[in-house]
Amino acid sequence: MDILSKNYEIIKEIGRGGMGIVHLAHDKRLDRKVAVKMLQLDPNVEKDEADKIIQRFYKEGQSLAKLTHPNIVGIYDIGEEQGQYYMIMEFIEGKSLARLLQIKSNFTIDLVLAIGKQICGALSYIHDKGIYHRDIKPGNIMLSEDGQAKLTDFGLAKLSSAQYALTQTGSLFGSLMYIPPEQALGEKSLDHRADIYSMGITLYELLTGISPFFDDTIAIVVKKVIEEEPKPPSAIIPDIPPELDRIILKSVRKHPSERYQNIRDMENDIIDLIESRAEKSSAPSSNIIMQEQLGNPGLLSFSGKSEDNLLLSSIIQFLSLNNS
């Protein structure tokens, strides 16, 4: 009996993309839930191209195995069974931000800041290791039931050549609104500033409920990404503070040299804004009361500072969304 069928019981499909299908499964040995990502190869792809995709799939799994961060989905195993290539991943009890946007069209400012702080921290961690995600978007960020934002689907864009990606129309279109202009122009030497751009577009959508470059046709989306300057998020949601406008608009500048040059600088600006808002907030100072509202005291560790209480309040809001 092969390893996959011997050690894991597939329960149901929980996600699908241009490059693969994700299933919820039961790890028989460790008695836990896991996510099993199955690589789906287009039967029309030439053998040489398919071999390259498989090679990159394994290389990405090996890279992921070296990453340990609370805001990055973990990988447990990778393998092949009867021509089916798979990854065994950490299962997140929660929903993707894309799914949550379908439930509620936009998030509160404080929830967006909480998510932004966590994912910027994860990106800072991988950038320090010379790894770039290249596919940051709401669909690739999970929000767990304990309030952790988790970055997933590493290397999805890197797994496919431009030729192969163009055959995956739905997946390509789903990512186009988040790619930086240099990628839309066909540049191959992308760096960490592409992730910074995509992070800014993601935060923009979480705040306003819409991508600044949304359109129904690929050609117009690409044209907007390359040529059109996004309007400030506050032009759509007036309550958005000027400093958050500044953070987002700086991260999505057309030329990489005009963006944040380090994701840590963006993270620090978000933290400063969180702290500034917390000083003006009347959030309760009792950690215990807040954790009791979560229904699982001790699940999260917060310092008791007002900015942490504000984040915890935002997580409680997420739980009400998730259960709706």
List active site positions. Answer: 135
Angle 263-279/242-251 helices, nearest 10 degrees? 170
Q: In this structure, what token pair is assigned to residue 5? A: 């069928």
Which residue reads 């961060």 in tokens? 69
CA 86 to chain centre: 21
β partners of residue 150? 142
- CA dihedral (296, 33, 102, 207) in degrees, to 10, reads 60
Instruction: Check: CB of residue 96 under 8 Å from CB of residue 195.
Output: no
Element containing residue 90 per DSSP (H, E)? strand 84-90
Q: Which two tokens stand for residue 135?
A: 């596919």
Considering only CA atoms, which of 269, 323, 294, 314 is closest in space to residue 120?
269
**Which token pair is 173?**
């279109």
111 closest CA partner among 240, 201, 245, 236: 240
The sign of the CA dihedral 43, 48, 52, 55 is: positive
Q: Give CA–CA dist 264/253, Å, rounded.
A: 17
